Amino acid sequence: MKALVYTNPNEVTYREEPEPQFGAGDVLIEVDAVGICGSDMHAYHGHDPRRNPPLILGHALAGRILEGPGKGRRVTVNPLITCGHCEYCKQGRDNLCANRTMIGMTRAGGFAERVSTAAASVIDIPQDMSVRAAALTEPAATAVHALNVAMRALVRPLPECRVLVLGGGAIGMLSALLLKSYGVRHVTVSETNALRRASLEKAAQVATYDPLQANAAHAPADNSMDLVIDAVGGKATRASALAAVKPAAW
Ligand SMILES: [Zn+2]
Ligand SMILES: [Zn+2]
């Protein structure tokens, strides 16, 4: 099959690869759409010691089951393959599974015509959902998880909270869209890139500002936010988050 293989730092090669390994309890999936995760970019730049070349990257995907249980179903995947019997799996927190493996990391990923994964990691998608939208399930789940954790801790109902999202990349955009769909009225997104700010304003109808610009309109006052989502995870955004969040808020 054809695949895009991470062959060296800053190098990917489109080439012929063997068909995916496919064992008992696995499904073989024909990939119809696959996204590029920030972690794929880290790997491509040679900054991820867990992803070593040669490796087929890619784990945010949607497609159809060709072989195995559920043949013919349209699916997306949880890229994690978990053991089902460790302490975390038994608690339903299988994202923390001590024995987890992952497509596009410890085994071949989705930048290929076909990929195999555990049948238990496959999730059906609605018949009317496009494969391109379905391929965004994994990054969207990251934002859903952050909001679920926040909602357990917030003192006020989420729609009444003033929320700041730091960064308007995939996770920041998906967080902003989810917040709006949950009815949150005050959502502000900090983003240095003008094109991304324009997309956020158009797609999510949120206020945006450039954190590098002094006294930008919509820049939050210190201690003014009920919830801050750091969708960048850098030194500067950590400092901005701590400055913007109210005392004892999230
Ligand atoms: Zn990812
Ligand atoms: Zn486990």
Sketch the domain layout of the chain as residue ranges: 2-135, 139-244
Which ligand is in closest contact with the Cα of 118?
2
Cα–Cα distance measured from residue 218 to residue 206, given in angstroms and rounded to the nearest whole number: 10
In sequence order, what are the residues at sequence separation of 6 or more whose Cβ sits closer than 8 angstroms to the Cβ of residue 51? 6, 39, 42, 43, 57, 104, 105
* From 21-25, 78-82, 136-140, the region with the lowest mean pLDDT: 21-25
**Distance from the alpha carbon of residue 41 to the mean position of ligand 1, in angstroms:** 10
CB neighbour class for 192 (10 Å; exposed up to 12, middle 13-18, buried from 19): middle
**Distance from the alpha carbon of residue 183 to the mean position of ligand 1, in angstroms:** 26
Which ligand is in closest contact with the Cα of 51?
1
**Distance from the alpha carbon of residue 118 to the mean position of ligand 2, in angstroms:** 13
Above 90 in pLDDT, residue 18? Answer: yes
Cα–Cα distance measured from residue 29 to residue 140, given in angstroms and rounded to the nearest whole number: 21
**Distance from the alpha carbon of residue 216 to the mean position of ligand 1, in angstroms:** 31
**Distance from the alpha carbon of residue 120 to the mean position of ligand 2, in angstroms:** 13
Residue 22 confidence (pLDDT): 86
Q: How far is CA 156 from the centre of its chain?
A: 26
Residue 248 confidence (pLDDT): 81
Structure tokens at 9: 């730092």
Task: Give me the torsion for CA of 224, 226, 229, 235, rounded to 10°.
Answer: 40
Above 90 in pLDDT, residue 249? Answer: no
Question: What is the pLDDT confidence band of residue 175, given thresholds at 50, 70 and 90?
Answer: very high
**Distance from the alpha carbon of residue 223 to the mean position of ligand 1, in angstroms:** 31
**Distance from the alpha carbon of residue 187 to the mean position of ligand 1, in angstroms:** 24
Q: What residues does 65 pair with on adjacent strands?
A: 29
**Distance from the alpha carbon of residue 48 to the mean position of ligand 2, in angstroms:** 23
Residue 7 confidence (pLDDT): 98
The pTM score is: 0.88
Cα–Cα distance measured from residue 204 to residue 198, given in angstroms and rounded to the nearest whole number: 10
Question: What is the pLDDT confidence band of residue 190, given thresholds at 50, 70 and 90?
Answer: very high
**Distance from the alpha carbon of residue 203 to the mean position of ligand 2, in angstroms:** 38
Express each pLDDT in 197-240 by its tens digit: 999 999 999 999 999 999 999 999 999 999 999 999 999 999 99
Q: What is the 3-state secondary structure (H, E, C) of 214-244?
A: CCCCCCCCCCCECEEEECCCCHHHHHHHHHH
In sequence order, what are the residues at sequence separation of 6 or more whose Cβ sits closer than 8 angstroms to the Cβ of residue 234? none
Which ligand is in closest contact with the Cα of 171?
1
Percentage of the chain with pLDDT > 90?
A: 95
**Distance from the alpha carbon of residue 111 to the mean position of ligand 1, in angstroms:** 13
Express each pLDDT in 22-70 by its tens digit: 889 999 999 999 999 999 999 999 999 999 999 999 999 999 999 999 9
CATH class of 2-135: alpha beta
Residue 89 confidence (pLDDT): 94
Above 80 in pLDDT, residue 250? Answer: no
Average pLDDT in the 95-120 region?
96
Residues in the chain, total: 250
Average pLDDT in the 101-118 region?
97
> 1 by DSSP, 3-state: which?
coil
Q: Name the average pLDDT for the chain.
A: 96
Question: What is the pLDDT confidence band of residue 82, given thresholds at 50, 70 and 90?
Answer: very high
Which ligand is in closest contact with the Cα of 61?
1
Average pLDDT in the 106-111 region?
96
Cα–Cα distance measured from residue 109 to residue 43, given in angstroms and rounded to the nearest whole number: 13
| In contact, 13 and 56? CB cutoff 8 Å | no
Q: Which CATH superfamily is domain 139-244 in?
A: NAD(P)-binding Rossmann-like Domain (3.40.50.720)
CB neighbour class for 184 (10 Å; exposed up to 12, middle 13-18, buried from 19): buried
Half-sphere exposure of 231 (CA within 13 A, CB side): 31
